[in-house]
Amino acid sequence: MSNTFLGMPALPVYGHGNLNATEPFPKAAHRELGNDQLRANLGHATHTIRDKRLRVVSELPDWEEMRNAGSAIKNATMANLPVLLEQFEANFTARGGIIHWARDAQEANEIVTALIRETGESEVVKVKSMATQEIGLNEYLEEQGIAAFETDLAELIVQLDHDKPSHILVPAIHKNRSQVREIFLREMPVVDPNLTDDPARLAEAARTHLRKKFLSAKVAVSGANFGLADTGTLTVVESEGNGRMCLTLPETLITVMGIEKLLPSWTDLEVFMQLLPRSSTGERMNPYTSLWTGVTPGDGPQNVHLVMLDNGRTAALADEMGRTALNCIRCSACMNVCPVYERTGGHAYGSTYPGPIGAILSPLMTGIKSEENNSLPYASSLCGACFDACPVKINIPEILVHLRGVDVDSKRSARKIPTQMDVIMKAAEWAFSSGSHLNILEKGLPLGKLVAGRDKVIKKLPGMGAGWTQSRDIPAPPTQSFRQWWDKEHQPESGVDHQSTTPEGAQA
């Protein structure tokens, strides 16, 4: 490589912000598993959404074709992203919008802050947005003396409780309604002291709390579900209507959107408006869909900004095996069906993006070596439920395995002393790369039987094996392997016709 400036930054530029596991997943999972209330809340919530999704998906005869279409549109978008981004910019700008490009979380936060400062305001209302969670916008604004009010009910609960979201669609999935009631009573400045945990009463309390903010806010910050390149239109899909108020009432609207959120054309939206609600909330159609294209004089926000966020997306795009992770439309179906997420909750993943998609997206965006993100690809039994549920057919298990490979390879050169895992894998390579090698090992099977003793089970293994024996026995091995049995039965000189023998298994 020459040092001449060629006008392109060196790849990959990794993402920063709330994208990291800060402790190894097994350690975080151990802690979260100990929280019985969390597990009960999560088990109930994920199973409810799971069943709802299955019901509405199974009523569509062309669901699989729709998934194929969604996947194809997203693949085409990623293959042509530079062109589509410029097309979107031209159309958005032509309609009076202003585009800002942010390489990473820091740049995006600075841009948003400067835009708010220009208005002279020190308060903003917010529409639920993953991108602004990812860059840690609320915390950054607070440091700059700007107060950001979340208006989505669940985001509000989490914000009032000074907690972090644990699910991308249902941020407060880890809290039940009696916990929500306690939070409201404790944190809302004006609240009915007789508030019950009836969902309608809780929603009313939130509505009363938020209404004043909506009517007085001059600036709103939002994310976007889709950006349509051929018209320069932005889209927010939501359930509560708070988003619609934020997007229409204030004078200034600042949207932060990842560069992968584009769709080539307006007509592509048809596919995703069918895929997204059914996959996320299990609804045939979401209650509120807002679309806006630049500025409409005299109607809605007159200052319309869009911050286009990279923050590691280009790095993910550069990974040939992993890039389809960018096809994600943030429906959260994968986490609702994931047996690991169901038991650990979202906080165990550290990143803004939890669950199966987070386990691939976070390390793809930050690089495998960032903090503890190399533990995330292992946070899966590879059961494949996520791939089946994904509306854009992201092969999450295959990308998890790919990233495990990236992790292992990233350590090969750096490591002086091999880990226990390295040693086991090297030994297994020898044993499993030849029938005769395996046969030699299997001659030691009676030894295992000896270890098992009279109980005929092994209850304690050393090293990594201790993970297994913490809750599982291992049966005493047989006295001979199948291979040894077969060889004895099929020795040519023995004259035994194996067709006539009765295998041991059938008589036992």
Partner 1 sequence: MKIALFATCIVDAMYPRTAQATVAILERLGHKVVFPSGQACCGQMHVNSGYFKEAHSVVANHVAAFDTDDYDVAVAPSGSCVASVKHQHELVARRCGDAALEARAAVVGAKTYELSQLLTDVLGVTSAAEQLGSYFPHKVTYHPSCHGMRLLRLEDKQLNLLKSVGAIEMVELPEADQCCGFGGTFSMKNADVSSAMNADKAANICGTGAELCSGGDASCLMHIGGGLSRQGSDVGTLHFAEILASTLENPVSVSGAVTLAGSKR
Please tell me whether residue 291 binds partner 1 under the rule CB under 8 A. Answer: no
CB-nearer residue toward partner 1: 178 or 433: 433
Which of the stretches 198-206, 250-258, 355-363, 384-392 binds partner 1 when contact is defined by CB under 8 A? 384-392
- Can residue 340 be called a binding residue for partner 1 (CB under 8 A)? yes
Query: Which among 65, 129, 46, 86 is positioned nearest to 338, based on CA atoms?
Result: 46
DSSP labels, 150-213: E-SHHHHHHHHTT---SSSSSTTTT--HHHHHHHHHHH-SS--TT--S-HHHHHHHHHHHHHHH
> Rounded to the nearest whole angstrom, what is the least distance from the CB of residue 427 to partner 1 in the complex?
10
Size of interface with partner 1, in residues (CB under 8 A): 77
Give the nearest distance from C-beta 173 to partner 1 in angstroms: 18
Contact (CB, 8 A) for 215 and 249? yes
Which residue number, 195 or 445, has a Cβ lying nearer to partner 1? 445
Structure tokens at 88: 């979107």
Q: How far is the CB of 57 from partner 1 (least distance, A)?
A: 15
Strand pairing partners for 149?
125
Task: Compare residues 134 and 407 and give the one whose CB is closer to partner 1.
Answer: 407
Taking CB under 8 A as the criterion, the residue among 12, 14, 20, 25 binding partner 1 is 25
Return the H-helix or E-strand segment holding 276. Answer: helix 269-280
* Comparison of 112 and 376: residue with beta carbon closer to partner 1: 376
CA distance 506 to 154: 59
Taking the complex as a whole, the smallest distance from the CB of residue 461 to partner 1 amounts, in Å, to 9
Q: Which stretch binds partner 1 (CB under 8 A): 185-193, 244-252, 264-272, 380-388?
A: 380-388
User: Site for partner 1 (CB under 8 A): which residue of 189, 200, 433, 493?
Assistant: 433
* SS3 at position 226: strand
* Residue whose token pair is 């020898």: 430
149 SS3 class = strand
Specify the residue, 17 or 397, whose C-beta has the smaller distance to partner 1.
Answer: 397
Q: Residue 429, interface with partner 1 (CB under 8 A)?
A: yes
Q: Classify the C-alpha dihedral 176-182-187-193 as positive or negative.
A: positive
Candidates 186, 211, 284, 490: give the one binding partner 1 (CB under 8 A).
Answer: 490
By CB under 8 A, name the one of 94, 382, 423, 447 that touches partner 1: 382
Q: Does 428 bind partner 1 (CB under 8 A)?
A: yes
Binding test (CB under 8 A) with partner 1, winner from 472, 488, 491, 494: 472
Classified as helix, coil or strand, 87 is helix
Q: Is 468 in the site for partner 1 (CB under 8 A)?
A: yes
Q: Which of 486, 488, 491, 496: binder of partner 1 (CB under 8 A)?
A: 486
Instruction: Using DSSP, state whether 271 is helix, strand or coil.
Output: helix
Does 26 interact with partner 1 (rule: CB under 8 A)? yes
**142 vs 504, which CB is nearer to partner 1?**
504
Closest approach of Cβ 477 to partner 1, in Å?
A: 6
Out of 329, 467, 492, 496, which residue is the one contacting partner 1 (CB under 8 A)? 467
Q: Which of 9, 287, 405, 453 binds partner 1 (CB under 8 A)?
A: 405
Instruction: Find the shortest distance in angstroms from Cβ 460 to partner 1.
Output: 11
Q: Does 33 bind partner 1 (CB under 8 A)?
A: yes
Told to check if 45 binds partner 1 by CB under 8 A, we report no
Q: Which of residues 434-453 bind partner 1 (CB under 8 A)?
A: 434-435, 437-438, 441-442, 445
* Letter string b/e over residues 220-231, b meaning 16 or more CB atoms within 10 A of that residue's CB: bbbbbbbbbbeb
Q: Is 106 helix (H, G, I), strand (E, B) or coil?
A: helix
> DSSP labels for 300-354?
S-SEEEEEEE-TTHHHHHT-TTTGGGGG-----HHHHH-HHHHHH-SGGG-SSS-
Cα distance between residue 231 and residue 87, in whole Å: 9
Which among 381, 372, 374 has a CA at the least distance from the CA of 337? 381
Q: Which one, 42 or 137, has the nearer CB to partner 1? A: 42
Judged by CB under 8 A, which of 79, 147, 421, 496 binds partner 1?
421
415 binds partner 1 per the rule CB under 8 A = no
* Contact by Cβ (8 Å): 116, 141: yes
- Within 91-110, which residues bind partner 1 (CB under 8 A)? none
Question: What percent of the residues of the chain are helix, what percent strand, and what percent coil, each to the nearest 5?
Answer: 55, 10, 35
Q: How far is the CB of 353 from partner 1 (least distance, A)?
A: 18
Among 470, 492, 493, 495, binds partner 1 (CB under 8 A): 470
CB 359 within 8 A of CB 336: no
Q: For residues 102 and 386, which CB has a smaller minimum distance to partner 1 in the complex?
A: 386
H helix intervals, 413-501: 420-432, 435-442, 445-452, 465-469, 482-489
404 contributes a contact to partner 1 by CB under 8 A: yes
Cβ–Cβ contacts within 10 Å for residue 363, how many?
Answer: 34
Q: Applying CB under 8 A, does 473 fall inside the site for partner 1? A: yes
Nearer residue to partner 1 within complex by CB, 203 or 457? 457
